[in-house]
Amino acid sequence: MADEVLLEVTDDESGLESGQKEPILNKYFKFVIKMKLSDLHLKADRPAIVRMKGDLRPLKGGPLSDEYIRKGIFELLSEDQKQLYKNNGAVDFAHDVGPPGDADRFRVNAFEQRGKMSVAARRVDRSVFKFEDLHLPPVMAEIAEFNQGMVLLAGITGSGKSTTIASMINYINARWPVHVVTIEDPIEYLFTDDKALINQREVGIDVADFHIALKYLMREDPDVVLVGEMRDVETFSAAVHAAETGHLVFGTIHASGAAQTISRILDLFPESERRAIRQALEFNLQSIICQKLIPSVKEGVPLVPTVEILIVNASIRKLIKEERDNEIINVIRSSYETGMVDFTEHLRQLVETGYIDHETAYDAAPNPDELKMALKGIRQATTAILG
């Protein structure tokens, strides 16, 4: 664990009405907000700990007792949540710090360990960035303007999928009077209504699980839907149903490329159902955006996304229908002028514009030799698509 954080946490009761008492743990939450940190950890017999630039660092002030932590957490819980904690030894809840309408939110998990209480709290970010601020291609705006169908964000954990989706929801929010419903575990970005009406449901806090949230989704009159991770048959089936009934649906999935995303979805289903799922993808899939975060050499830009973008057209629909998923990359490479791009071409662009160096590009490339040719101006020939 890194060295102790030099700044000391102090009580701050500014903004409270006369006679109003500040929850005793709020000074730690306020410190996390002030320092723009991501996480707070409380463990009995240890100082409070924060995550700063990826590392855990203890705060000044000495160890906290189990009694102090337990009292502070129980101040924040409803009677039902207290009972849930007593029954299960753990509870998830949301805690707002600040005035209504402008509060910062934390997603908190309190749990028993070795007979004492520990706490892990994640700050939910309010800073939703524009596509250009995230260094994403301009075609992202066109994808966000679809009025129905499925848009899937693919990548590993920590690849920036949630940030990219948040920027797309924010783009919609600034432009159209639509109803957006999100189902997330956890909520990672908080939206403030602009043109759109946005309702965000957090699994474990606002609703028991994804399946219950999806059961009631269509009764909530959404126009745009965000379904966190496509993790099982029921989640994906509900997302497809929403797309088929005229909604724009965003979702995330763990996959490394556009063709692999389709395979990953099909693998969720038994063999007997895969033909029907292919047909659903053929008619409802609008775009797949695969993303990785890589180190940048440009000043003020620590990380930059490299992407593979598929926009479904007639050729793609034909390949999906005919189970020729391995040929999808050829359509992407022959359609750069439409905004589609594969990882190799996007890495080339990032090198040429000075965002990344050659070594980083080769490390991230699916095929380093192919990237070397692209950087020399040699494009790989694409084979025939149709027929």
The verdict on 193 and 96 lying in the same domain is no
Helices (H), 24-65: 26-34
Q: Give the pLDDT band (50/70/90) at residue 2.
A: low
The verdict on 314 and 239 lying in the same domain is yes
Lowest mean pLDDT across 2-6, 189-193, 312-316: 2-6
Q: Give the pLDDT band (50/70/90) at residue 309.
A: very high
The verdict on 111 and 193 lying in the same domain is no
The verdict on 112 and 155 lying in the same domain is no
Of the three residues 92, 124, 156, the one that is the final residue of a domain is: 124
Q: Looking at the predicted structure, is the pLDDT value of residue 15 above 60?
A: no
- Residue 75: domain span: 5-124
The verdict on 341 and 260 lying in the same domain is yes
CA–CA gap between residue 140 and residue 339 (Å, rounded) = 9
| Structure confidence by residue, pLDDT tens digits, 267-285 | 999 999 999 999 999 999 9
| Structure confidence by residue, pLDDT tens digits, 18-49 | 456 889 999 999 999 999 888 999 999 999 99
Q: Which residue has the higher pLDDT, 347 or 8?
A: 347
The verdict on 87 and 209 lying in the same domain is no
Asked if residue 166 belongs to a domain, the reply is yes
Mean pLDDT on 152-181: 95
Percentage of residues in the chain with pLDDT exceeding 90? 74
The verdict on 152 and 256 lying in the same domain is yes
Q: Whole-number mean pLDDT of the chain? A: 91
Tell me, what's the pLDDT at 382?
58
Mean pLDDT on 211-237: 91
Q: Tell me which amino acid residue 35 is.
A: M
Mean pLDDT on 284-303: 95
DSSP 232: S
The verdict on 350 and 309 lying in the same domain is yes
The verdict on 51 and 199 lying in the same domain is no
Q: What is the count of structural domains for the chain?
A: 2
Mean pLDDT on 143-169: 94
3 state SS for 321-357: HCCCHHHHHHHHHCCHHHCCECHHHHHHHHHHCCCCC
Mean pLDDT on 131-144: 96
Asked if 150 and 286 count as a contact pair (C-beta separation under 8 A), the reply is yes
The verdict on 205 and 85 lying in the same domain is no
Angle at 279 between CA 277 and CA 324, to 5 degrees: 95
pTM of the predicted protein model? 0.81
CA–CA gap between residue 111 and residue 43 (Å, rounded) = 10
Q: Give the pLDDT band (50/70/90) at residue 82.
A: very high
CA–CA gap between residue 359 and residue 336 (Å, rounded) = 24
Asked if residue 297 belongs to a domain, the reply is yes
180 Cβ neighbours under 8 A, 6+ residues apart = 169, 172, 173, 191, 196, 197, 198, 199, 222, 223, 224, 225, 226
Mean pLDDT on 339-344: 97
